[in-house]
Structure 1
Amino acid sequence: MNDNEWNENGGRHPFYEETVSTDKRFEGRMISLQVDTVRLPNGDTATREIVKHPGAVAVIAVLDGKMLVVEQFRKPLERVQVEIPAGKLDAGEEPETAAMRELEEETGYRAKRIRHVRTFSTSPGFADELIYLYFTDELEPGQAHLDDEEFLTCEGLTPEQADEYVRDGRIFDAKTLLAVLIWRNWRETGAFGA
Protein backbone atom coordinates (compact mmCIF):
# COMPACT_ATOMS: atom_id res chain seq x y z
CA MET A 1 0.00 0.00 0.00
CA ASN A 2 1.05 3.60 -0.50
CA ASP A 3 0.00 6.90 1.01
CA ASN A 4 -2.40 7.64 -1.86
CA GLU A 5 -4.63 4.72 -0.87
CA TRP A 6 -5.69 6.46 2.33
CA ASN A 7 -7.98 9.41 2.89
CA GLU A 8 -7.52 12.20 5.43
CA ASN A 9 -9.36 10.19 8.11
CA GLY A 10 -6.94 7.25 7.88
CA GLY A 11 -9.31 4.98 5.96
CA ARG A 12 -8.89 3.65 2.45
CA HIS A 13 -9.90 6.20 -0.19
CA PRO A 14 -13.39 5.41 -1.53
CA PHE A 15 -12.12 5.37 -5.16
CA TYR A 16 -9.20 3.00 -4.49
CA GLU A 17 -8.97 0.02 -6.86
CA GLU A 18 -7.48 -3.09 -5.26
CA THR A 19 -5.37 -5.27 -7.56
CA VAL A 20 -6.76 -8.81 -7.73
CA SER A 21 -4.24 -10.20 -10.25
CA THR A 22 -1.50 -9.10 -12.65
CA ASP A 23 -0.76 -10.64 -16.04
CA LYS A 24 2.61 -9.51 -17.44
CA ARG A 25 2.27 -9.37 -21.24
CA PHE A 26 5.45 -7.71 -22.56
CA GLU A 27 8.93 -6.95 -21.24
CA GLY A 28 10.92 -4.55 -23.45
CA ARG A 29 14.13 -2.61 -23.25
CA MET A 30 12.42 0.55 -22.00
CA ILE A 31 8.87 -0.40 -21.01
CA SER A 32 6.79 -3.36 -19.97
CA LEU A 33 3.06 -3.94 -20.25
CA GLN A 34 0.84 -5.66 -17.73
CA VAL A 35 -2.90 -6.18 -17.47
CA ASP A 36 -4.23 -5.89 -13.94
CA THR A 37 -7.61 -7.14 -12.80
CA VAL A 38 -8.89 -4.72 -10.16
CA ARG A 39 -11.79 -4.63 -7.74
CA LEU A 40 -13.78 -1.44 -8.21
CA PRO A 41 -15.30 0.57 -5.35
CA ASN A 42 -18.73 -0.98 -6.08
CA GLY A 43 -17.31 -4.54 -5.82
CA ASP A 44 -17.24 -5.29 -9.56
CA THR A 45 -13.99 -6.15 -11.34
CA ALA A 46 -12.37 -4.50 -14.35
CA THR A 47 -9.09 -4.67 -16.24
CA ARG A 48 -6.42 -1.99 -16.46
CA GLU A 49 -3.69 -2.05 -19.12
CA ILE A 50 -0.60 -0.53 -17.50
CA VAL A 51 2.67 0.51 -19.11
CA LYS A 52 5.52 0.28 -16.58
CA HIS A 53 8.40 2.73 -17.11
CA PRO A 54 11.55 3.28 -15.03
CA GLY A 55 10.99 7.04 -14.91
CA ALA A 56 12.78 9.92 -16.56
CA VAL A 57 14.46 13.23 -15.88
CA ALA A 58 14.34 16.59 -17.65
CA VAL A 59 16.31 19.79 -17.16
CA ILE A 60 15.46 23.44 -17.57
CA ALA A 61 19.00 24.68 -18.35
CA VAL A 62 19.50 28.43 -18.80
CA LEU A 63 22.69 29.79 -20.36
CA ASP A 64 23.15 33.52 -20.90
CA GLY A 65 19.41 34.11 -20.57
CA LYS A 66 18.49 31.37 -23.05
CA MET A 67 16.88 28.00 -22.33
CA LEU A 68 18.77 25.09 -23.87
CA VAL A 69 16.63 22.79 -26.01
CA VAL A 70 17.27 19.90 -28.35
CA GLU A 71 15.56 19.12 -31.64
CA GLN A 72 15.02 15.47 -32.51
CA PHE A 73 12.70 13.09 -34.34
CA ARG A 74 10.10 11.31 -32.19
CA LYS A 75 8.95 8.12 -33.92
CA PRO A 76 5.74 7.54 -31.90
CA LEU A 77 4.48 10.95 -33.12
CA GLU A 78 6.19 10.80 -36.55
CA ARG A 79 7.50 14.33 -36.12
CA VAL A 80 10.52 16.42 -35.21
CA GLN A 81 10.14 18.23 -31.89
CA VAL A 82 11.99 20.77 -29.80
CA GLU A 83 12.31 19.64 -26.18
CA ILE A 84 14.30 20.37 -23.07
CA PRO A 85 17.15 17.89 -22.41
CA ALA A 86 15.71 14.70 -20.96
CA GLY A 87 16.21 10.98 -20.69
CA LYS A 88 15.29 7.75 -18.97
CA LEU A 89 16.55 6.71 -15.56
CA ASP A 90 18.97 3.79 -15.58
CA ALA A 91 18.29 0.94 -13.12
CA GLY A 92 19.06 2.10 -9.57
CA GLU A 93 20.13 5.58 -10.74
CA GLU A 94 19.26 8.62 -8.63
CA PRO A 95 17.22 11.20 -10.57
CA GLU A 96 19.68 14.04 -9.86
CA THR A 97 22.57 11.96 -11.21
CA ALA A 98 20.56 11.10 -14.32
CA ALA A 99 19.63 14.76 -14.86
CA MET A 100 23.28 15.83 -14.71
CA ARG A 101 24.24 13.01 -17.10
CA GLU A 102 21.49 13.69 -19.65
CA LEU A 103 22.14 17.44 -19.64
CA GLU A 104 25.81 17.00 -20.50
CA GLU A 105 25.23 14.16 -22.98
CA GLU A 106 22.66 16.12 -25.00
CA THR A 107 23.91 19.72 -24.73
CA GLY A 108 27.63 19.54 -24.01
CA TYR A 109 27.16 21.62 -20.84
CA ARG A 110 27.69 20.45 -17.29
CA ALA A 111 25.72 21.86 -14.35
CA LYS A 112 27.74 23.15 -11.41
CA ARG A 113 24.56 22.94 -9.35
CA ILE A 114 21.11 21.62 -10.11
CA ARG A 115 17.82 22.07 -8.24
CA HIS A 116 14.77 19.82 -8.20
CA VAL A 117 11.69 21.78 -9.30
CA ARG A 118 8.92 19.20 -9.39
CA THR A 119 8.01 15.60 -10.13
CA PHE A 120 4.99 14.79 -12.29
CA SER A 121 3.26 11.91 -14.07
CA THR A 122 3.09 11.85 -17.84
CA SER A 123 0.07 9.68 -18.68
CA PRO A 124 -1.60 8.46 -15.46
CA GLY A 125 -4.46 6.81 -17.35
CA PHE A 126 -2.19 4.01 -18.60
CA ALA A 127 1.44 4.53 -17.52
CA ASP A 128 3.34 4.82 -14.23
CA GLU A 129 6.12 7.01 -15.67
CA LEU A 130 7.26 9.91 -13.49
CA ILE A 131 9.46 12.75 -14.73
CA TYR A 132 11.79 14.47 -12.28
CA LEU A 133 12.22 18.06 -13.46
CA TYR A 134 15.35 20.05 -12.54
CA PHE A 135 16.60 23.59 -13.07
CA THR A 136 20.06 25.07 -13.46
CA ASP A 137 21.47 28.39 -14.57
CA GLU A 138 24.99 27.47 -13.42
CA LEU A 139 26.57 25.83 -16.46
CA GLU A 140 30.11 25.21 -17.66
CA PRO A 141 31.40 23.60 -20.85
CA GLY A 142 31.38 19.81 -20.76
CA GLN A 143 31.39 17.11 -23.41
CA ALA A 144 28.36 16.07 -25.43
CA HIS A 145 28.26 12.35 -26.12
CA LEU A 146 25.08 11.11 -27.76
CA ASP A 147 24.00 7.48 -27.81
CA ASP A 148 24.66 5.64 -31.07
CA GLU A 149 20.96 5.77 -31.97
CA GLU A 150 20.49 9.43 -30.98
CA PHE A 151 20.50 12.26 -33.52
CA LEU A 152 19.77 15.79 -32.31
CA THR A 153 20.87 19.39 -32.34
CA CYS A 154 21.04 21.79 -29.40
CA GLU A 155 20.21 25.49 -29.34
CA GLY A 156 19.40 28.22 -26.84
CA LEU A 157 16.00 29.93 -26.98
CA THR A 158 15.18 33.41 -25.79
CA PRO A 159 11.88 33.72 -23.91
CA GLU A 160 10.30 35.18 -27.05
CA GLN A 161 11.58 32.31 -29.20
CA ALA A 162 10.25 29.77 -26.70
CA ASP A 163 6.81 31.39 -26.83
CA GLU A 164 6.96 31.39 -30.64
CA TYR A 165 7.93 27.69 -30.70
CA VAL A 166 4.95 26.91 -28.46
CA ARG A 167 2.59 28.86 -30.73
CA ASP A 168 4.02 27.17 -33.85
CA GLY A 169 3.76 23.69 -32.33
CA ARG A 170 7.53 23.06 -32.50
CA ILE A 171 7.36 22.75 -28.71
CA PHE A 172 4.59 20.19 -28.32
CA ASP A 173 5.39 17.85 -25.41
CA ALA A 174 4.06 18.35 -21.89
CA LYS A 175 7.44 18.49 -20.09
CA THR A 176 8.72 21.28 -22.34
CA LEU A 177 5.45 23.21 -22.22
CA LEU A 178 5.64 23.01 -18.42
CA ALA A 179 9.31 24.03 -18.53
CA VAL A 180 8.47 27.17 -20.54
CA LEU A 181 5.82 28.14 -17.96
CA ILE A 182 8.16 27.49 -15.03
CA TRP A 183 11.01 29.40 -16.69
CA ARG A 184 8.68 32.36 -17.35
CA ASN A 185 7.53 32.38 -13.71
CA TRP A 186 11.13 32.12 -12.48
CA ARG A 187 12.18 35.09 -14.67
CA GLU A 188 9.25 37.18 -13.41
CA THR A 189 9.20 36.25 -9.73
CA GLY A 190 12.36 34.31 -8.88
CA ALA A 191 10.16 31.35 -7.84
CA PHE A 192 9.49 28.02 -9.57
CA GLY A 193 5.66 28.00 -9.41
CA ALA A 194 3.95 27.24 -12.72
Structure 2
Amino acid sequence: MKLNETTAAQNTVFSGRIITVCDDEVVLENGKRTRREVVYHHGGVCVVPFDGENTYLVRQFRYPYKEVVRESPAGKLEPGEDPLECGKRELEEELGAVAGRYTDLGRFYPSPGYTSEVIHLYLAEELSFTQQNLDEDEFLEVEKLPLRRAAEQILSGELVDGKTQAAILKAAALRGLLGEGRR
Protein backbone atom coordinates (compact mmCIF):
# COMPACT_ATOMS: atom_id res chain seq x y z
CA MET A 1 0.00 0.00 0.00
CA LYS A 2 1.09 3.53 -0.73
CA LEU A 3 -1.19 5.20 1.87
CA ASN A 4 -1.69 8.20 -0.39
CA GLU A 5 -4.54 10.33 -1.68
CA THR A 6 -4.22 12.74 -4.61
CA THR A 7 -6.25 15.88 -5.11
CA ALA A 8 -8.46 15.70 -8.20
CA ALA A 9 -10.29 18.99 -7.66
CA GLN A 10 -10.32 21.75 -5.06
CA ASN A 11 -13.28 24.00 -4.36
CA THR A 12 -12.66 26.94 -2.02
CA VAL A 13 -15.74 27.40 0.13
CA PHE A 14 -14.41 30.22 2.32
CA SER A 15 -11.26 32.31 2.45
CA GLY A 16 -10.68 34.45 5.53
CA ARG A 17 -7.89 36.18 7.44
CA ILE A 18 -6.81 33.05 9.32
CA ILE A 19 -8.22 30.04 7.48
CA THR A 20 -9.32 28.82 4.07
CA VAL A 21 -11.95 26.10 3.90
CA CYS A 22 -12.00 23.79 0.89
CA ASP A 23 -14.16 20.91 -0.26
CA ASP A 24 -11.63 18.73 -2.08
CA GLU A 25 -12.28 15.76 -4.31
CA VAL A 26 -9.55 13.16 -3.83
CA VAL A 27 -8.58 9.90 -5.49
CA LEU A 28 -7.90 7.05 -3.07
CA GLU A 29 -5.19 4.49 -3.71
CA ASN A 30 -7.82 2.00 -4.93
CA GLY A 31 -8.89 4.51 -7.62
CA LYS A 32 -12.18 5.48 -5.97
CA ARG A 33 -13.04 9.13 -5.42
CA THR A 34 -14.26 10.77 -2.24
CA ARG A 35 -14.47 14.23 -0.67
CA ARG A 36 -12.31 15.84 2.01
CA GLU A 37 -13.35 18.99 3.83
CA VAL A 38 -10.14 20.74 4.80
CA VAL A 39 -9.38 23.81 6.89
CA TYR A 40 -6.09 25.23 5.60
CA HIS A 41 -4.12 27.25 8.19
CA HIS A 42 -0.60 28.77 8.13
CA GLY A 43 0.22 27.14 11.45
CA GLY A 44 1.34 28.46 14.77
CA VAL A 45 3.77 28.36 17.63
CA CYS A 46 3.45 27.50 21.33
CA VAL A 47 6.17 28.48 23.82
CA VAL A 48 6.68 27.12 27.34
CA PRO A 49 8.45 29.83 29.33
CA PHE A 50 10.45 28.20 32.15
CA ASP A 51 12.44 30.04 34.82
CA GLY A 52 13.96 26.90 36.35
CA GLU A 53 10.90 26.13 38.50
CA ASN A 54 7.87 27.94 37.11
CA THR A 55 6.09 28.30 33.82
CA TYR A 56 3.75 31.09 32.80
CA LEU A 57 0.32 30.65 31.27
CA VAL A 58 -2.00 33.20 29.77
CA ARG A 59 -5.70 33.20 30.47
CA GLN A 60 -7.86 34.48 27.65
CA PHE A 61 -11.44 34.21 26.47
CA ARG A 62 -11.74 31.79 23.56
CA TYR A 63 -14.85 32.53 21.58
CA PRO A 64 -15.46 29.06 20.06
CA TYR A 65 -15.70 27.57 23.58
CA LYS A 66 -17.32 30.62 25.21
CA GLU A 67 -14.93 30.35 28.14
CA VAL A 68 -11.58 31.48 29.50
CA VAL A 69 -8.84 29.05 28.49
CA ARG A 70 -5.41 28.76 30.14
CA GLU A 71 -2.61 28.37 27.59
CA SER A 72 1.10 28.70 27.12
CA PRO A 73 1.97 31.81 25.08
CA ALA A 74 1.18 31.09 21.44
CA GLY A 75 0.32 32.68 18.14
CA LYS A 76 -0.22 32.14 14.47
CA LEU A 77 2.51 32.13 11.86
CA GLU A 78 2.42 34.66 9.09
CA PRO A 79 2.95 33.10 5.62
CA GLY A 80 6.64 32.23 5.25
CA GLU A 81 7.53 33.28 8.82
CA ASP A 82 10.21 31.37 10.73
CA PRO A 83 8.52 29.52 13.62
CA LEU A 84 11.22 30.40 16.17
CA GLU A 85 10.98 34.10 15.32
CA CYS A 86 7.20 33.87 15.72
CA GLY A 87 7.67 32.22 19.12
CA LYS A 88 10.05 34.95 20.26
CA ARG A 89 7.57 37.61 19.16
CA GLU A 90 4.63 35.95 20.90
CA LEU A 91 6.58 35.41 24.12
CA GLU A 92 7.44 39.09 24.32
CA GLU A 93 3.98 40.30 23.25
CA GLU A 94 1.95 38.07 25.56
CA LEU A 95 4.25 37.63 28.56
CA GLY A 96 6.63 40.55 28.28
CA ALA A 97 9.60 38.18 28.35
CA VAL A 98 12.72 37.49 26.32
CA ALA A 99 14.52 34.14 26.52
CA GLY A 100 18.26 33.58 26.32
CA ARG A 101 17.81 29.97 25.20
CA TYR A 102 15.20 28.12 23.14
CA THR A 103 14.84 24.37 22.76
CA ASP A 104 12.84 22.98 19.86
CA LEU A 105 10.22 20.54 21.23
CA GLY A 106 9.00 19.42 17.81
CA ARG A 107 5.73 19.80 15.95
CA PHE A 108 2.12 19.15 16.96
CA TYR A 109 -0.77 18.31 14.60
CA PRO A 110 -3.85 19.53 16.50
CA SER A 111 -6.45 17.72 14.39
CA PRO A 112 -5.10 15.91 11.31
CA GLY A 113 -8.53 14.69 10.24
CA TYR A 114 -9.60 18.07 8.86
CA THR A 115 -6.96 20.78 9.23
CA SER A 116 -3.49 21.40 7.79
CA GLU A 117 -2.42 23.36 10.88
CA VAL A 118 0.99 22.52 12.34
CA ILE A 119 2.01 24.01 15.69
CA HIS A 120 5.72 24.32 16.48
CA LEU A 121 6.60 23.85 20.16
CA TYR A 122 9.47 25.49 22.05
CA LEU A 123 10.88 25.60 25.56
CA ALA A 124 12.09 29.10 26.45
CA GLU A 125 14.63 29.45 29.29
CA GLU A 126 16.95 32.08 30.77
CA LEU A 127 14.04 34.50 30.90
CA SER A 128 14.29 38.23 31.38
CA PHE A 129 11.18 40.30 31.69
CA THR A 130 10.46 43.47 29.76
CA GLN A 131 6.93 44.69 29.09
CA GLN A 132 3.87 43.09 27.53
CA ASN A 133 3.01 44.39 24.09
CA LEU A 134 -0.45 42.97 23.40
CA ASP A 135 -2.23 43.39 20.08
CA GLU A 136 -5.09 45.90 20.25
CA ASP A 137 -7.67 43.11 20.13
CA GLU A 138 -5.85 40.88 22.65
CA PHE A 139 -6.93 40.72 26.28
CA LEU A 140 -5.26 38.26 28.63
CA GLU A 141 -3.98 37.71 32.15
CA VAL A 142 -0.68 36.02 33.07
CA GLU A 143 -0.54 33.17 35.59
CA LYS A 144 2.66 31.80 37.12
CA LEU A 145 2.82 28.23 38.45
CA PRO A 146 5.42 25.50 38.93
CA LEU A 147 6.00 23.51 35.74
CA ARG A 148 5.47 20.28 37.70
CA ARG A 149 2.07 21.59 38.88
CA ALA A 150 1.11 22.51 35.29
CA ALA A 151 1.90 18.92 34.24
CA GLU A 152 -0.22 17.61 37.12
CA GLN A 153 -3.10 19.88 36.03
CA ILE A 154 -2.88 18.40 32.54
CA LEU A 155 -3.10 14.87 33.94
CA SER A 156 -6.05 15.80 36.18
CA GLY A 157 -7.97 17.46 33.35
CA GLU A 158 -7.71 21.04 34.67
CA LEU A 159 -5.50 22.30 31.84
CA VAL A 160 -7.29 21.39 28.61
CA ASP A 161 -5.64 23.25 25.71
CA GLY A 162 -4.06 20.65 23.41
CA LYS A 163 -0.99 22.59 22.27
CA THR A 164 -0.26 23.58 25.86
CA GLN A 165 -0.62 19.98 27.02
CA ALA A 166 1.82 18.70 24.41
CA ALA A 167 4.36 21.46 24.99
CA ILE A 168 4.28 21.38 28.80
CA LEU A 169 4.47 17.59 29.02
CA LYS A 170 7.43 17.57 26.61
CA ALA A 171 9.16 20.37 28.55
CA ALA A 172 8.52 18.66 31.90
CA ALA A 173 9.84 15.35 30.55
CA LEU A 174 12.93 17.07 29.14
CA ARG A 175 13.62 18.70 32.51
CA GLY A 176 12.97 15.47 34.45
CA LEU A 177 9.87 16.74 36.24
CA LEU A 178 7.34 14.03 35.42
CA GLY A 179 8.45 11.54 38.07
CA GLU A 180 7.08 8.03 38.20
CA GLY A 181 3.58 8.96 37.10
CA ARG A 182 0.39 7.18 38.14
CA ARG A 183 0.06 3.44 38.34
Q: In the alignment, which residue of structure 1 is the partner of 2:71?
A: 83
Distance 1:144 1:166 in 2: 26
Q: Which residue of 1 aligns with 2:130?
A: 142
1:127 to 101, 115, 118: 115
Count of residue correspondences = 177
For the 8 Å contact 2:108–2:166, the answer to whether it is kept is no
Q: Distance in 2 between matches of 1:93 and 1:21?
A: 28
Among 80, 85, 103, the residue aligned to 1:92: 80
Give distance in 1, aligned partners of 2:99 and 2:148: 24
Determine what percentage of the aligned residue pairs are the same residue.
Answer: 39
Q: Which runs of 4+ in 1 moved over 2 A?
A: 163-170
Is 1:117 the counterpart of 2:105 in the alignment? yes
Q: Provide structure 2 residue ranges, at least 5 long, that are not aligned to the other structure.
A: 178-183
RMSD: 1.7
- Spell out, residue by residue over 1:151-171, the C-alpha distance to the aligned partner (whole angstroms, 9 max, x if none): 111122113531453356441
Determine if contact 1:20/1:36 at 8 Å carries over to the other structure. Answer: yes
Q: TM-score, normalised by structure 2?
A: 0.90
Question: What is the TM-score normalised by the length of structure 1?
Answer: 0.85
Question: Structure 1 stretches of 5 or more lacking a match?
Answer: 1-12, 190-194
Write the deviation string for residues 16-68 of structure 1: whole angstroms up to 9, x where unpaired.
11110111111101001011100112211000000010110010110241011
Query: Residue 181 of structure 2 corresponds to which residue in structure 1?
Result: none
Q: How does 1:1-194 map to 2 (within 5 A)?
A: 14-166=2-154, 169-188=157-176
